[in-house]
Structure 1
Amino acid sequence: MENQQLKKSVYFSAFKGEFYKSINSYNADILLSEIKQVRNQLIQSKKIGNYKVLDIDVENNLWDIPSNWAWTRAGHILDVRDGTHDTPKYVSDEGFPLITSKNLKNNTLDFSNVKLISNEDHFAIQKRSKVDKDDILFAMIGTIGNPVIVKEDREFSIKNVGLFKKIPETNINMEYIFFYLDFISDMLRKNSSGAVQSFVSLKVLRNLPVPLPPFEDQQIIVDYLNEINVHLSKIDQKIKKLNTLQLNFPFQLEKSILQYAMQGKLVNQDNSDESASTLLKRISEKKEQMVKEKVIKKEKTLPPITEEEIPFDIPDTWEWVRLKNISTFGNFNQASPEKIKSDDWVLDLEELEKNTGRILEQKKASEKMIKSNKYKFNQNDVLYGKLRPYLNKVTIAPHEGYCTTEIFPITLIKGVYPKYIQYVLMSPYFLNYAHSLSYGVKMPRLGTTQIANALIPLPPANEQIKIVEKIEEMIKPVRNLSLLNER
């Protein structure tokens, strides 16, 4: 049973008088008679209005109640009014707050973003519906219900809000009325009028059936529901915490899978594989050849990797390298808008899904306004979103195209599997690295030097493929679980 359903069930039990056996010999009919006498006196002295309230009979009873209780109507035991239905003139300052249904939130009065009205309009509304401490406000339009007990003496006016006032010198517990209105709100919403916007009329509120216990029993029920609400609040907090854990679990599990993969703990090492050091030597030779052929520029010597930089241990057959060691990173091919053809693919950062690397859509240059230079990328390049790197936007180019300069194209040397590097750049240790070195407060970025010098745990070529296969085998059901949570 959900927490709200549990609350409704408990409230219903309370208003049926089921949770305790009353030993009170006092009968609510006597209480009704006393209230009627006081009410008539106040009507005669014109202190409250003489509005018509329907009589109540057995057919109006909503459910069975104890024999010493009585069914009555709200207008028989309370002074029920409502606020203005007109729109007063608003002022910018030195006015009085005008409370509407929108200001009744979570059974509290919210004075933020409230509009102010003139003194003249305020005092005119006060004659109809002056709000005092311990009165109950009730939203009559829009989200019907959400009753609020006024806890402090503060002057304000009300519009399209029901007002339940205690008849002076009568034994009515306003907290009991508050709890009942909170409970019965669902029924009022279901039976509300209005095709465009739901509303309940003042007549409906005045004729609302109310189960009335003797005064002492009202207090017992109030104490009981207050205690229950403390426990329900704790349950609600635990449910919210559990829901948060449930929503975060797939993401945290995926992070753990990637971190295990980066540490060489996801697949067994095969001693027959060519070692990463041998692979690294071949990569270095290939890059030297590319420099000679003027495919890439001669690179500056990268700083040596120190023990302090290494974030965790890796298998003996692996090597720690810098990203620039295994790629042509930095040799960007920039293109001005006029050099980009109308049918060329142009990728912007918002077209990459965070945390998954999924390309949400591919748009041609003709579908966009190209005003700035773009980076050209090739098929199988790793594309890394450098702006707000915590969004974890990394993908593999399915074919050549152009991208915003907020995305770094990374062309890898043969022997380095692009999909493996994508997972490296999306892994927890790399996210921490990117976060620690990003610059800019509102729009943090990772710089070119920081990417070039980033540490990469490099396994043998065959093991890279095995790791990717294992990651994707394990991540697929995890992402399916994420989709289920979102639904």
Structure 2
Amino acid sequence: MTWQKIKIRKILTESKVPSDSPDPDKRITVKLNVKGVEKRPFENGIEGGTKYYIRRAGQFIYGKQNLFKGAFGIIPSELDGFESSSDIPTFDIHEDCLSEWIFYFLKQGDFYKSLEGLAKGTGSKRIHPEQFFDIDIPFPSREEQQEIIKKIKSFETKYDTLQSELKLQSELLTQLRQAILREAVQGKLVPQDPADEPASELLKRIRAEKEQLIREGKLKKEKPLPPITPEEIPFELPQGWVWCRLGDVTLKSESGKSFTCEKYPAEYPEWGVIKVSAISWDAFNEKENKALLRNTQPTLAYQIHEGDYLISRANTEDLVGKSVVVGKVSLNVLLSDKSIRFLFSSKVDKHYINLLNNSSIAREYYKEVATGTSDSMKNISREQMYSLLIPLPPFAEQNRIVEKVESLMTLCTQLEAQITTSQQQAEQLMQTVLRDAFTNPDIMEEAELLGEEKATLFETEQLRLF
């Protein structure tokens, strides 16, 4: 089966009904990435000389500057009578063409992205109706359009259901990760061993170690930490554990330096300065850096090495105070002034401190003490880091906890990979169905059956994660 192709101008007519009394609270905007048409948030300000036009439900609409970024759609009934400027034109559709036919044509295979070359102008480029009208579109009968769109929507419903389920599984996986950390730091993840040296004795030996280093001039005496009050203690500890503060197990800490950097990341053997994003996502990412300004000598004291424990002192509300234990380092990277390096006593496992610091206990603490007027940039002081409450287990149990957590997190990562693969496969299948609808209609039925088969496969084999 083949269809004739026509110019879009034959089925679209630009609508230019001016608004006699423009209303700032009745404005339309078109979201990017084919996310639909919606009411623009009300802006209470002085209206300029922009002319607005009345738009009607069922009209096709697009943004001149962002059509190739997915800014197009069909005006829904609840926005009937709303307005937009000529920068967001609308079009009446010929009675022989369904509005969804144009919508899905632009969406299939991300066809809209190929339209970037049509944009004209200097500065902000735009795709004007005259350029848009010259696009060729397959044009079957209205009855054929209805039949194909019905099949597309049927598959789209299954696709949306599948993606919703995958999103839920992803959210549950995030909760599972936090539950693992919570159980770990409450002593519920591995059994206690009465033969382990109690953490209270461990603390005594750490204090003695620090005092000896101070006497030898290798450490500076620090200000005493505040005593732990009963009101601070969030839960009861198992036998052999003890409450302390991060400063109790810290030998020393140091912040980085504010270096002048280039805008691009460093490549070996260049030197780079890490961004906070290098330590924001549970694993050290050395590629998140900015190259040191050319002809600037690096301060080697700030070089980051494998095994370093780093905390961000400045970040968003959700990420400030996040930490990592640095893995293998292949680039020359330096500590920034927004990150702190901690050196702990060898009598504590820094990997245990790291999982505690990234658990909900620490996250809630940092949110409470962080300063800054904007959620996008909060700060915590070194003193606040030192005051973080630590449920400290015996050293041998710390090791067992870390081993168990790493094992469970590996499983979570595998489950996460399954979810990602399922999401990608579902998206690819959706695009295949759309593409075939416009290029190979004879196999639409086959694609729909394949979609049902794939959806069933995902549901039975990949979604039962918990």
Deviations 1:14-34 (A, max 9, x none): xxxxxxxxxxxxxxxxxxxxx
d(CA) in 1 for partners of 2:50, 2:292: 56
- CA drift at 1:181: 3.0
For residue 281 of structure 2, the aligned residue among 351, 355, 360 is 355
Does residue 261 in structure 1 map to residue 184 in structure 2?
A: yes
Q: Are 1:270 and 2:193 counterparts?
A: yes
Kindly provide the CA deviation profile for residues 379-404 of structure 1, in whole angstroms up to 9, marking residues without a partner as x. 63421112126326312245897411
The partner residue of 2:347 within 409, 415, 438 is 415
SS in 2 for 1:440: strand
Q: Which structure has the greater CA radius of gyration?
A: 1
SS at match of 1:359: coil
The offset of 1:407, in angstroms, is 1.2
Contact kept, 8 Å, 2:255 with 2:340, in 1: the verdict is: no
Partners of 1:83 and 1:363 in 2: how far apart? 48
Find the partner of 1:390 among 294, 318, 343: 318
Rounded Cα–Cα distance in structure 2 between residues aligned with 1:363 and 1:84:
49
The aligned amino acid for 1:467 is I
Q: When the two structures are aligned, how many residues end up with a matched partner? A: 367
Contact 1:382 1:421 in 2 (8 A): no
Which amino acid in structure 1 is aligned with residue 280 of structure 2?
A: K
Deviation at 1:319, TM superposition (A): 1.0
**Alpha-carbon deviation of 1:417?**
1.2
Whether 1:251 aligns to 2:179 is no
Distance 2:33 2:249 in 1: 61
- For the residues of structure 1 that align with 2:50 and 2:273, how far apart are their CA atoms? 55
The within-5 A match list for 1:70-109 is: 82-83=13-14, 108=37
Secondary structure at 2:243 match in 1: strand
Secondary structure (helix, strand or coil) at the match of 1:444 reads strand
Per-residue Cα deviation, 1:175-205 (whole angstroms, up to 9, x for no partner): xx78x43157546877999985598759989
Aligned to 1:317, which of 210, 229, 240?
240
Q: Does 1:447 align with 2:375?
A: no
Seq. identity, %: 23
- Structure 1 pair 238/370, CA: closer, same or farther in 2 (3 Å)? farther
SS in 1 for 2:390: strand
Asked whether the 8 Å contact 1:347–1:403 carries over to 2, the reply is yes
TM-fit CA distance, 1:237 = 8.3
| Higher mean displacement: 295-304 or 418-427 | 295-304
8 Å CA contact 2:59–2:99 kept in 1: the answer is no
Tell me, in whole angstroms, the C-alpha distance in 2 between the residues paired with 1:336 and 1:157.
47
Task: Identify unmatched segments of 5+ residues in structure 1.
Answer: 1-58, 63-72, 74-78, 86-92, 123-129, 167-176, 213-217
Match of 1:466 among 400, 408, 424: 400
TM-score by structure 2 length?
A: 0.60
Provide the residue aligned with 1:431 in structure 2.
363
AA aligned to 2:343 is: T
Give the C-alpha shift of residue 163 in structure 1: 2.1
SS in 1 for 2:244: strand
Residue in 2 that maps onto 1:403: 335
Report what 1:33 is aligned to.
none
The match for 1:68 is none
Gaps spanning 5+ residues in structure 2: where?
A: 17-21, 119-126, 261-267, 422-466
Counterpart CA distance in 1 for 2:92 and 2:239 is 77
Aligned counterpart, 2:208: 285
Q: Assess, with a 3 A threshold, how the Cα gap between structure 1 residues 204 and 282 changes in structure 2: closer, same or farther.
A: closer
Matches within 5 A, 1:204-243: 209-211=141-143, 242-243=165-166
- State how far apart, in whole Å, the 1-side matches of 2:32 and 2:212 are: 72
Which amino acid is 1:358 matched to?
F
**Which has the bigger relative contact order, CA under 8 A and spacing at least 6?**
2
Q: CA deviation at 1:329?
A: 3.5
* Secondary structure, aligned partner of 2:231: coil
SS in 1 for 2:372: coil
| One-letter identity of the residue aligned with 1:396 | V
TM-score, with structure 1 as normaliser? 0.58
Q: Identify the match of residue 100 of structure 2 among 169, 182, 185.
A: 182
Contact 1:83 1:159 survives alignment (8 Å): no
Following superposition, the deviation at residue 468 of structure 1 comes to: 0.8
Verify: 1:481 aligned to 2:394, yes or no.
Answer: no
2:307 pairs, out of 380, 390, 405, with: 380
Measured in 2, the distance between the counterparts of 1:395 and 1:203 equals: 52
- Report matched runs for 1:151-170 at 5 Å: 151-152=80-81, 162-164=91-93
Q: Deviations over 1:187-224 (max 9, x none)?
A: 68779999855987599899862249xxxxx9xx9xxx
Deviation of 1:262 after TM superposition, in Å, equals 0.3
TM-aligned CA deviation for residue 457 of structure 1? 1.3
Q: Deviations over 1:144-195 (max 9, x none)?
A: 98444782286976998542378xxxxxxxxxx78x4315754687799998
Residue identity matched to 1:423: L
Deviations 1:227-267 (A, max 9, x none): xx9x9999998766534322222222111111111011111
Letter in structure 2 aligned against 1:277: S
Q: For residues 323 and 260 of structure 1, what CA distance do their matches in structure 2 show?
A: 19
The CA distance in 2 between the partners of 1:336 and 1:109, in whole Å, is 44
Contact 2:313 2:380 in 1 (8 A): yes
CA RMSD between the two structures? 5.5
